[in-house]
Amino acid sequence: MTGATGTPGQPRGRSVVVTGATAGIGRAAAAAFAEAGMRVVLAGRDRTRGERAAREIRADGGEAAFVRCDITDPDQVEALFARAVELYGRLDCAFNNAGVPGDGRLVDLSPEDFDRTFAVNSRGLWLCLRQELRLMAAQGHGSIVNNTSVHGLRTVFPGIGAYVASKHAAVALTRVAAVEHARDGVRVNALAPGPIETEMLAASEAAVGGATTWRGLIPSGEIGTPRQVADVALWLFSPASSYVNGQTIGVDGGFLAT
């Protein structure tokens, strides 16, 4: 991929936008990217948590700024990426991490609940992709990583149908974007995390058994960490993965292999 800077295998000096960056995987990813020398724009709805996360990165010697953004709002999404370019001059990478759960059996879901899940996990993802792809295609390079889920590749539990369907859509968007923009020098890949130590996993305990159930499904019996997901995203941003495109990579302790 053209436009690489820094030492081989490292994306040092590149700019990156991280959505859903105020907690969990997004916050860990923003910190990991900054640690690797990337210039980070953290995006999320919670200004207090987002600005705190950005301050902590700067205190550790990284370069980071927070932009409040609800990715269901096209105007806010456009403003987010305009601000990223204003800050850093270009957009080299993007980690589309923002997501919401979607609990409830399909027959019990209200139209509003279903639409809310898709508004963030699918339509919101598309709104971000649209801005990212335009910017990256114009500059002739870029790497995008969409954070999906093992649920986007394999239906695991009943009772989370809207979430599962929205994550399947996210995987499809990844593939379409990769095919449409490969000749523009833009790569688009996805991660499919299994159970990761986050607030969302803890909240799923009542609905689907959370970590307790997952430990019986993972070959190692281990729950993953946000940093383990972030490290794979970091590799996908680096020149070391330059021939990887349109893929959805499981970060799941081997669950998808079972």
**Annotated catalytic sites, by residue?**
163
Q: Kindly list the strands in the beta sheet with 39-44, ordered across the sheet, starting from the edge strand earlier in the chain.
A: 63-68, 39-44, 15-18, 93-96, 142-147, 186-193, 248-251
CB 237 within 8 A of CB 209: no
Handedness of CA 241, 143, 86, 128 (dihedral sign): negative
DSSP 198: S
CB 20 within 8 A of CB 49: no
Structure tokens at 134: 């335009």
Q: Which residues contact 138 (CB under 8 A, 6 or more apart)?
A: none
Listed residue (146, 175, 134) closest to 26, CA to CA: 146
CA–CA distance, 64 with 57 (Å, rounded to integer):
6
Provide the CA 36 distance to its chain's centre, in angstroms. Answer: 17
Q: Which residues contact 38 (CB under 8 A, 6 or more apart)?
A: 11, 12, 13, 14, 15, 16, 63, 93, 237
